[in-house]
Amino acid sequence: MCNCQKETEQKFREMYPDAEDIYGQYELMSGKAYSIYTIKLPNKKKPIEKNLLHSYCPICGTKYN
């Protein structure tokens, strides 16, 4: 497994040294990254949110176990 999650968090800490907390959107049980997509439909008031769990690291491309 790659170390991109920690490396990315460290880069953000360097960019924002005053930040109290930095949280990446990572699924906690397996350590896999996921993305949240928001879909706005013209006939709906509230947008739909869909989670996409990645099989590969979106940063370096390493396949997750």
pLDDT at 29: 55
Write down the domain spans for the chain: 1-14+26-65
Measured CA angle at 34 (ends 13, 28), to 5 deg: 75
Residues 22 and 9 sit within 8 Å (Cβ to Cβ): yes
- At 4-38, the pLDDT tens digits run 777 877 888 898 888 777 666 566 556 777 777 88
Question: What does pTM read for this prediction?
Answer: 0.54
